[in-house]
Structure 1
Amino acid sequence: MAFAFALTQTLFSLLLLLPIYSTVAQTNGAITLGASLSATDNSSWFSPSGDFAFGFRQLSNTDLFLLSIWCAKIPDKTIVWYANETLAPRGSQVNLTADNGLVLTSPQGQQLWNSSSLNVASGVMNDTGNFVLKDSNSNEVLWSSFNNPTDTILPTQTMENEGSLFSRQSETNFSKGRFQVRFLDGNLVLNTINLPSTYANNPPYYIGDNNNSSPGIQLALNESGYMYIVRENKQRFVLGEGVVNSETDYYYRATLDFDGVFTLYSHPKTSIGSWTVVWSVPENICTDIFLENGGIGACGFNSICTLKDSRPTCKCPPGYSLIDPNDQYSSCKADFIQGCEEDKLSSTKDIYSVEELTYTDWPTSDYLRLEPFTEVDCRNSCLQDCTCAVAIFTENKTCWKKKLPLSNGRFDGKFSGKSFIKVRKSTISIPGSYFPNPNNTPDREKKNQDGLIIPGSVLLGFSVFVNFILIGAFCYGFFFIYQKKRNKINRGSSVLDINLHCFTYKELQDATNGFMEELGKGAFGIVYKGAIQMGSNIPVAVKKLYNFAQDSDKEFKAELNIIGKTHHKNLVRLIGFCEEGQQRLLVYEFLSNGTLADFLFGDVRPNWKQRIQIAFGIARGLLYLHEECSTQIIHCDIKPQNILLDKYYEARISDFGLAKLLMMGQSHTNTAIRGTKGYVAPEWFRNMPVTAKVDVYSFGVMLLEIICCRRSVDMASGREETAILTDWAYDCFREGTLDALVEHDMEALEDREELERFVMIAIWCIQEDPSLRPTMRKAMQMLEGVVDVPVPPSPSPFTTTTSL
C-alpha cells in the first residue's frame, strides 16, 4: 500500500514538473504564438542542436540589449544577425504575434521594431542559424532572418540581386556603419556610403568575374565554407580560396566587418579555438577603395589609412586629432584654425611650417596643378597659400595643391612622391582669438581714427595754458593707471609670462558658492566644483591648496609659469590661479566624466577598446610633458585619481608639475603604499636621482590596472599571490595565464597578441632598475606597434639584462 502511494506521489510530481522541463529542454526549435522573451534574464530560443540562439544580448557597459541571433556553443557567442540597429532598454520584450510576427516593445509598451508579417502561425529557430516565421495555412515562410541579413551570411544562406549587407560602426556599436556589400548585376561589389543616407559612393570595388557571358543570378555560401556566384547557365564562380576543413567540425560565416573588409571565417565547433580568416577582400582596402567623385574612404576625412595584417588602421597626420577620440576610424580635425581671414589676424607672416610625410598620398582633393615645378617651390607655394592644406610633389616635377577636407588618405609603399602637410607653429598665436571679431572691421577702425580728428583739432585750438592743464591731467591719469597695474602685477606676478587669469579669493569663493560642492581631495588640497563668468558661464574645478611656507612662493610661481605654457589635448587645462596672503588656489577646466579610478573600478567593466584608447591618451600626455613642451615636467604623481575623463572619455592628466613642487622635499615619507610596490618608483626610497623614469614606472602600474580593471594593491581579496598586481602580472605572463589576469575578459582575449604586447610593455615600465625602463617616447612606439617589444625580464633588480 505504501509503495502504491509513493508511486502515485512520484508520478504526480513528474506531471507537475513536465511543463517546466518541456520549456527548458526545447529540442525542435519551434516557437508557438504568444511566446515571449524579456531583456532582463538569460532566456533564449535555441535551435534543435543548440548551435544557435535567438534572444537578447546585453551590450558592454550599458543597460541596453540587442535582439539578435548568435553562435551559442562557442565562448565569444558571436552575433550573426540583429534587429537592424534597434537597442532595447532593460525590461523590453519580444513577442511572437499572429498579426505582426516578432514584435519588440519597450518597458513602457512602445513598439521598437517588428518583422511586419501577417497570418503568422509559428516560429522556428533552425540549426542553420535562420529564424523563420511560417504561415498559418500553407506552412509557407513569411519572414526569415536569412532574407533580412545585417552584416553576416551563414552557410545555406543566399543573396539575390540587389541584396546587401551593411557593416557596424565598430566592434561594439551596432549602428549602421559606412561600408556596404551588394550583389549587383551578377557581381559582389563593395562601397562606402554617405551616412546618414544610403547613397553609395562610386566607383565600387568589384569582387567577381565580368568576363563571363552568363550573368550571375545568386550569391551563395555552402556548408563546406565555399562562397560562389551562381550563373544563369548553372556554372559557379568561386570567390576566394578553397576550404579544407570538414563541414561537420567547423562553423563558417562571411561578415562585412566594421573596418570594411569582407571576410570568410571558420571556427572549430569545439569550444576550444577562435575564428580564423579563410580569405578576405579587398587585398588592400586603403588603396583599393578609391573615390574619384568625393565621399569618405576606408578612413575618415583628413586621416591616413595604413594596412596592418590585412586590416586598415587609421591615424591622424601631424597637427590633427580625431573628432571622436573613441573611434580611430572617424575623421580628423586640424588642431589649429586655418583660413585666409584667420591668417590675417596674425602679426607675423611666418606662422606655418610643413611636415614631410613619406609614402603618404591623398589622391583626391586637388584644386591646383603646377607643372613643371621644383620641390622647394611646391613647399613654399603651399606655405604662402591660405587655402592650401597639403602639397604633393611627384617625380615628374608636378605639384598638386590640396585643400580641406582631405579624403582617401593612405600609406602606400609604392608611392614615390612627397607629401608636405601644413601645420601652425606652436609658438605662434593669434592675439585675442583665432576667430575674427565681427565688430573689429576696417570701417569701424576708420571710424575710430576719424573720431580722433575732432578732439585733436580742439586741442590745437586751445590756448597753451589749457593744453598744459590737459597734458598734466593726462600724465597724472597715466601714472595712476600704471601704478594700479603695477600693484596688480605685484599681487599676481605669475601672470607676467603666462596667459592665465589671476582671480581674487572673493571671486573664487563666489564661483564655488562658498566652497560648497566638494569633488575630491588629495595630498595637496581639496577640489571644489564651481562656475565662473568669462564671456559665458564656464564650469570649473577649483583646487584649494593646503597652506605652505612663504619660501615656497618663488617655486610656486616658477612652476605656474611652466604649467601655464603647456597645451595638449591630453592635459587638463589650467585656466587661472589665486595667490592672496596664505591662499593658493588653482582653477582648472571641469571634466564631466570624473576620474579614471571611478571609471575602472566601478561595478561594470569598461570595454577593452575604450580602455586602450585611454592608455594611449595618458602616454601621449606624458610624452608631451617629458619631451615636447618648452621645459621638461616630471609629474611624480601619476595614478588613476589624477587622470580625468572628458565627455568623449578622452584621458586628461591633471595636477602635473605640482606633485614635484609640493612633495620634493618629503617624497621618501609620503609614498602611496609603504613597503609595497604602489605607483611610486623604487628610486624614491633609495635617494637616487629622480628623472622622468619615475613617471614611466607609475604609467606601467596604471597600464596594468587599465588592462585588468583592478587596483594595483588588493589586500581585501584574501589571496596573497594576487594582492600585488605588478607581481601577479609578471607571474601570469611568465606562466602563460593571461586569461586569469584579465579575469577571462572576452573582449581583451579576442586579440590575445595585442593583450600580450600591452602586458609586456607594462612589465618593461615597472622595472625596478630605471635604466631598463623605456622612455615615454619608446613606450608610445611600442604601444602603437611601431617597434617590437622584446620579452621583458623579471622586474626584480637581481635580474640583469640588456637595456632598452
Structure 2
Amino acid sequence: MMPILFFPFLLLSAIFAQQRQSHVKPGSFLTPTTNSSWPSPSGLYAFGFYKQGNDYAVGIFLAGLPQKTVVWTANRDIPPVPSDSKLNFTSDGRLVLQSAQGAETSLASFPEDASSLSMLDTGNFVLLNSANQMVWQSFDFPTDTFLPTQKLFHGQVLYSSISETNKSTGLFRVLMQEDGWLAMYPVGTPYTLEYGYWGGGISGQRNDVVLHLEVNGHLYLINGAGTIIVNMTDGYPAKDVVYRLTIDPDGILRLYSHDMNRNQNWTVKWFAPNDDACKPKGLCGLNAYCLLVDLQVGCKCLPQFEPVNKDDRSSGCQRNFTMESCKSDRYAMKAVLNTVWENNSYSVITSTTQENCGEACLRECNCEAALFKDGVCTKQKLPLRFGRRDQKDSTVTLIKVGTSTKR
C-alpha cells in the first residue's frame, strides 16, 4: 500500500511551482487511445483527450486523482470527436484538432506562432514563443472552473456546464462586473439586478476589482489599491490539498477541496448562494417552478402542464391540453400560491382583488396567466420562466386551465 499513498504525496511536492515546465515542441501530437495527454511536471494536471460519452473532448483535467476531474474544455460547444482524431502541435506552431479526413479545428488563437507549449502545475496550459514568452494561456479563457493563482478580471465570465459529464455551456454564469461586484445570472439575460440571483462586493468600486483564489483556498475580491474588499473564505490547510472553484450545472458557485493523502471525494468548503438552492433562475425551465423537497431541488409543472423531457428538468413543461377556443366558459383559473416568476406583463390592473384578477384574465383571449400581489394584477402570456416557490412571497399565480365544458 505504501506506493499508492506515496505517489499522491510526490505529486503535491511540485503542484504550486509554476516555473517548472515540461516543454512540448512543434511536431508533437496526441490521440485519444494511445498517447492521450501532456502532463504537468508533477503529473497532477494534464492537457489532452478525455472521455465524453462515447467520444472524446480536449481539455485540462486533474490526472493525479482517482476521479479525472475536468477543469477546462477547449471549444466546449462543438461535438466530441471520435477515437480516430488527432491533436496536433504543427511544425508551424499551431495547435489544431484534426479529423481522420484531414479537417482542422483550431484550439487556440494567438498573435504569433508558438515555439513550445506547456502544461503547468497550476493547471494553466500555456503556449510560448521563441523567446519563451507566453502568447496564450488557458487561464485567460475560463470555462466553468477557477483555479488557485488564477485571476478573474472585469468582464471575464465563468459559464456552468450542462452536466457533470457534458461540459458544453450550461444555464448559468458568474461575472466579474465593471462595478466591482462578482455576480451571477442566467445565461441569455441582461446584467441587471432583476435577473441577478447572487452578488458579492462593495458599492463604489471601480473596474479594477479582481477575484483571487489562493493555493490555501482563500477566496477574495481585491481592488486596484491592493485592498481586500471582500473575504469570501479565510483560507484552509494547504498541505497536500487541492482547491477549485466551480459554477456547477445547478447554478451554485462552490469551492471544493481534495486531500491528496486520502482516497475521498471532493469536499465543499464554501458555496453561494447559500440560503436557497432554488435561487438560480431557470433551473426548472419554462412553465415550471423550483421548490425544495427535503432540502433537495425539485421541479413542478404548472396545473395541466407536463414535463417536456422527464430526464431533463431544465426542459420545462408544456400544456397537456389544446386551447381550441377563446370562450371563457371552456376554461377556469387555477391558483398556485407563493410562486415568483419573471414579470413580463403586457397589462396591469391596480387596486383589485385576486378574484377580479382571475376573471379579467379569463375573459381575455390573450391572457394565459396572471400574477396577483398586494392588489396588483399583471396579465401574462406563456411561457412563464424563472419560477420559484417562495413561502415568504405572497404572489399568487393564476393559470388558465381547461374544463370539461363543451358548447
Same fold flag (TM > 0.5): yes
Query: Is the 1:254–1:263 contact (alpha carbons within 8 Å) kept by the matching residues of 2?
Result: yes
> How has the CA–CA distance of structure 1 residues 354 and 286 changed in structure 2, closer, same or farther, with 3 Å as cutoff?
farther
Correspondence for 2:345:
366
Q: Read off the aligned partner of 1:187 and give its amino acid letter.
A: W
> How has the CA–CA distance of structure 1 residues 351 and 219 changed in structure 2, closer, same or farther, with 3 Å as cutoff?
same
Q: Take 2:308 and 2:117, find their aligned partners in 1: how far apart are those partners?
A: 44
Shift of 1:109: 1.2
**Residue aligned with 2:325, SS:** helix
> How has the CA–CA distance of structure 1 residues 253 and 428 changed in structure 2, closer, same or farther, with 3 Å as cutoff?
farther
Note if 1:188 corresponds to 2:182.
yes
Give the TM-score, by structure 2 length: 0.83
Q: Take 2:405 and 2:93, find their aligned partners in 1: how far apart are those partners?
A: 64
Note if 1:423 corresponds to 2:405.
no
Match of 1:268 among 259, 269, 285: 259
Q: Read off the aligned partner of 2:343 and give its amino acid letter.
A: T
Match of 1:306 among 291, 295, 302: 291
Q: Take 1:189 and 1:400, find their aligned partners in 2: how far apart are those partners?
A: 28
Shift of 1:98: 4.7
Match of 1:105 among 84, 90, 98: 98
Correspondence for 1:764:
none
Query: Is the 1:219–1:230 contact (alpha carbons within 8 Å) kept by the matching residues of 2?
Result: yes
Note if 1:388 corresponds to 2:382.
no
Q: Take 2:350 and 2:141, find their aligned partners in 1: how far apart are those partners?
A: 53
RMSD over aligned CA atoms reads: 2.9
Q: Take 2:210 and 2:145, find their aligned partners in 1: how far apart are those partners?
A: 16
How many residues align structurally? 382
> How has the CA–CA distance of structure 1 residues 72 and 308 changed in structure 2, closer, same or farther, with 3 Å as cutoff?
farther
> How has the CA–CA distance of structure 1 residues 84 and 376 changed in structure 2, closer, same or farther, with 3 Å as cutoff?
same
> How has the CA–CA distance of structure 1 residues 301 and 82 changed in structure 2, closer, same or farther, with 3 Å as cutoff?
same
> How has the CA–CA distance of structure 1 residues 191 and 310 changed in structure 2, closer, same or farther, with 3 Å as cutoff?
farther
Q: Take 1:397 and 1:214, find their aligned partners in 2: how far apart are those partners?
A: 41
Correspondence for 2:16:
none
Query: Is the 2:72–2:143 contact (alpha carbons within 8 Å) kept by the matching residues of 1?
Result: yes
Note if 1:375 corresponds to 2:366.
no
Q: Take 1:179 and 1:201, find their aligned partners in 2: how far apart are those partners?
A: 12
**Residue aligned with 1:329, SS:** helix
Query: Is the 1:373–1:398 contact (alpha carbons within 8 Å) kept by the matching residues of 2?
Result: yes
Q: Take 1:97 and 1:42, find their aligned partners in 2: how far apart are those partners?
A: 16
Correspondence for 2:220:
228
Note if 1:328 corresponds to 2:303.
no
Q: Take 2:163 and 2:83, find their aligned partners in 1: how far apart are those partners?
A: 22
Note if 1:66 corresponds to 2:51.
no
Correspondence for 1:397:
375
Deviations 1:192-232 (A, max 9, x none): 232xxxx6453353633333556634221110111222212
Q: Take 1:110 and 1:147, find their aligned partners in 2: how far apart are those partners?
A: 27
Match of 1:356 among 327, 335, 343: 335
Higher helix share: 1
Q: Take 1:164 and 1:158, find their aligned partners in 2: how far apart are those partners?
A: 11
Give the TM-score, by structure 1 length: 0.44
> How has the CA–CA distance of structure 1 residues 34 and 429 changed in structure 2, closer, same or farther, with 3 Å as cutoff?
farther
Q: Take 2:320 and 2:309, find their aligned partners in 1: how far apart are those partners?
A: 13
> How has the CA–CA distance of structure 1 residues 76 and 299 changed in structure 2, closer, same or farther, with 3 Å as cutoff?
same
Q: Take 1:102 and 1:429, find their aligned partners in 2: how far apart are those partners?
A: 66
Note if 1:156 corresponds to 2:149.
yes
Query: Is the 1:301–1:405 contact (alpha carbons within 8 Å) kept by the matching residues of 2?
Result: yes
Q: Take 1:111 and 1:382, find their aligned partners in 2: how far apart are those partners?
A: 56
Query: Is the 2:26–2:93 contact (alpha carbons within 8 Å) kept by the matching residues of 1?
Result: no
Q: Read off the aligned partner of 2:213 and give its amino acid letter.
A: L
Q: Which moved more, 1:309-318 or 1:80-89?
A: 309-318
Match of 2:271 among 264, 280, 286: 280
> How has the CA–CA distance of structure 1 residues 165 and 128 changed in structure 2, closer, same or farther, with 3 Å as cutoff?
same
Specify the structure having the higher radius of gyration (Cα): 1
Matches within 5 A, 1:766-785: none
> How has the CA–CA distance of structure 1 residues 409 and 284 changed in structure 2, closer, same or farther, with 3 Å as cutoff?
farther
Correspondence for 2:75:
84
Q: Take 1:307 and 1:155, find their aligned partners in 2: how far apart are those partners?
A: 33
Deviations 1:240-299 (A, max 9, x none): 23333x212221111122222222111222352212222222345777667xxxxxx454
Structure 2 residues without counterparts, runs of 5 or longer: 1-19
Deviations 1:457-498 (A, max 9, x none): xxxxxxxxxxxxxxxxxxxxxxxxxxxxxxxxxxxxxxxxxx
**Residue aligned with 2:173, SS:** strand
**Residue aligned with 1:177, SS:** strand
Q: Take 1:41 and 1:382, find their aligned partners in 2: how far apart are those partners?
A: 64
Note if 1:211 corresponds to 2:211.
no
Q: Read off the aligned partner of 1:301 and give its amino acid letter.
A: L
> How has the CA–CA distance of structure 1 residues 211 and 374 changed in structure 2, closer, same or farther, with 3 Å as cutoff?
closer
Q: Take 2:96 and 2:41, find their aligned partners in 1: how far apart are those partners?
A: 23
Deviations 1:126-155 (A, max 9, x none): 11111111111x211111111221111111
> How has the CA–CA distance of structure 1 residues 278 and 298 changed in structure 2, closer, same or farther, with 3 Å as cutoff?
same
> How has the CA–CA distance of structure 1 residues 157 and 313 changed in structure 2, closer, same or farther, with 3 Å as cutoff?
farther
> How has the CA–CA distance of structure 1 residues 375 and 200 changed in structure 2, closer, same or farther, with 3 Å as cutoff?
closer
Match of 2:239 among 248, 270, 291: 248
Deviations 1:516-553 (A, max 9, x none): xxxxxxxxxxxxxxxxxxxxxxxxxxxxxxxxxxxxxx
Q: Take 1:54 and 1:39, find their aligned partners in 2: how far apart are those partners?
A: 12
Q: Take 1:111 and 1:311, find their aligned partners in 2: how far apart are those partners?
A: 44
Match of 2:116 among 116, 119, 122: 122
Q: Take 1:354 and 1:284, find their aligned partners in 2: how far apart are those partners?
A: 32
Q: Take 1:231 and 1:93, find their aligned partners in 2: how far apart are those partners?
A: 43
Shift of 1:110: 0.7
**Residue aligned with 1:378, SS:** helix
Correspondence for 1:237:
229
Deviations 1:28-85 (A, max 9, x none): 633222111112346322222221122211213x2x2110111123232110001022
Shift of 1:92: 0.7
Note if 1:55 corresponds to 2:37.
no
Query: Is the 1:165–1:181 contact (alpha carbons within 8 Å) kept by the matching residues of 2?
Result: yes
Match of 1:343 among 325, 337, 342: 325
Note if 1:259 corresponds to 2:250.
yes
Query: Is the 1:83–1:113 contact (alpha carbons within 8 Å) kept by the matching residues of 2?
Result: no
Q: Take 2:34 and 2:218, find their aligned partners in 1: how far apart are those partners?
A: 37
Q: Take 2:134 and 2:329, find their aligned partners in 1: how far apart are those partners?
A: 71
Correspondence for 1:411:
389
Query: Is the 2:216–2:238 contact (alpha carbons within 8 Å) kept by the matching residues of 1?
Result: yes
**Residue aligned with 1:423, SS:** strand
Correspondence for 2:12:
none
Matches within 5 A, 1:536-575: none
> How has the CA–CA distance of structure 1 residues 122 and 59 changed in structure 2, closer, same or farther, with 3 Å as cutoff?
same
Shift of 1:172: 2.6
